[in-house]
Amino acid sequence: MTEKDFTRLKRRFLRYVESYRMNTPGDQQNIALKRDHTLKVCRDIGLITRGEAIGRRNDALLARTAALLHDIGRFPQYAKFKTFNDGSSVNHGRLGAELLMKTDLKLKFLEGLSRREQSLIIRAVKYHSALTLPRLDKRSVFLLRLVRDADKLDIWRVFVEYFGQEKKDRSTAAGQGLPEGEGIISPGVLRNIFENRLISLAGIRNLNDYKLLLLSWVYDINFRTTFRLFRKRRYLERLAAYLPAGEEADKAVAHLKEFVAQKTKN
């Protein structure tokens, strides 16, 4: 794979996104949200590969390509279901992988890449949003971990901005249709935080739970560079600012801060 291949794929991706342009401003805002997110994930995966001194040029290009295509399933998902909630629509990772495997897809995203490169990218797309990593070969897992870290970095940005907006200006799909929460945090969500476990989307009841779900992702970061970028951008503090005041939330945030501090020592 070459830099020219990536540039060609990026042009195809942008044409693909444009084909999902919607007339309703709210719907188009959601499409643009995923387009911009994708481009920033490409940026962040580049920062991670450089920070981790991943010297093989082909690996870095494959990582950027997987990042470019990781959310390709989001666009038809939203067009059909008007939501980004996989649980109430379709798994966007699997849908994206299916799209990439279709030989009759007009844009033929993976045309010109080797079979091995295609396979690595499709697996990364398929499993990037899975709660836990599947059993795959070493190189597939490595690429998948890069994509998952870069994806998290920009989703944190998206939600820092989302919660900072007036409700009338927020993307209608980003909040998963959850209620505010009225200062409530579910006990099971707090338990997962203190046990250093990821929070499942199935276990949340409101946006307060969702904020802690986002922060629980620190338990699934794979690279030291990702932790450093997380701390540099102050995502924990910025998201925690939108949690309800109280002892429970304060203890959860303190626990998360200590965990991140341990991971970024030295």
pLDDT tens across 83-115, in order? 999 989 999 999 999 999 886 655 578 888 899
Q: Give the pLDDT confidence score for residue 238 in this predicted structure.
A: 97
Answer yes or no: is 237 within a domain: yes
Answer yes or no: is 165 within a domain: no
DSSP 102-117: -TT-TT-TTTTS-HHH
The number of domains in the chain is: 2
- Residue 260's nearest CA partner among 225, 222, 219 is 219
The verdict on 143 and 13 lying in the same domain is: yes
Over range 166-187, report the average pLDDT: 82
Mean confidence (pLDDT) of the chain: 92
Answer yes or no: is 156 within a domain: no
Please report how the helices 138-164 and 224-232 are oriented relative to each other, as an axis angle in degrees rounded to 10: 10
Over range 5-33, report the average pLDDT: 94
Q: Give the pLDDT confidence score for residue 176 in this predicted structure.
A: 75
The verdict on 135 and 196 lying in the same domain is: no
What is the percent of the chain with per-residue pLDDT over 70, rounded to a whole number?
97
- The whole domain housing 201 covers 178-263
Collapsed DSSP state (helix, strand, coil) of residue 34: helix
The verdict on 139 and 200 lying in the same domain is: no
pLDDT tens sequence across 105-143: 555 788 888 999 999 999 999 999 998 888 999 999 999
DSSP letter, residue 213: H
Choose between 254 and 171: higher pLDDT: 254
The verdict on 33 and 75 lying in the same domain is: yes
Q: How far is the C-alpha of 135 from the C-alpha of 47, rounded, in Å?
A: 26
CA-based end-to-end distance of the chain = 35
Phi, psi of 182 (to 5 degrees): 50, 40
Query: Does the pLDDT value for residue 181 go beyond 80?
Result: no
Query: Does the pLDDT value for residue 232 go beyond 60?
Result: yes
DSSP letter, residue 195: T
Cβ contact 241:178 at 8 Å = no
Query: Does the pLDDT value for residue 178 go beyond 90?
Result: no
Q: Give the pLDDT confidence score for residue 174 in this predicted structure.
A: 78
At 266, the pLDDT band (50, 70, 90 cuts) reads low
In this prediction the pTM is: 0.93
Choose between 210 and 112: higher pLDDT: 210
Query: Does the pLDDT value for residue 61 go beyond 60?
Result: yes
Over range 170-194, report the average pLDDT: 86
The verdict on 213 and 115 lying in the same domain is: no
254: buried, middle or exposed (CB in 10 Å: 19+, 13-18, 0-12)? exposed
Give me the amino acid identity at 143: L
Cβ contact 72:41 at 8 Å = no
Over range 234-256, report the average pLDDT: 95
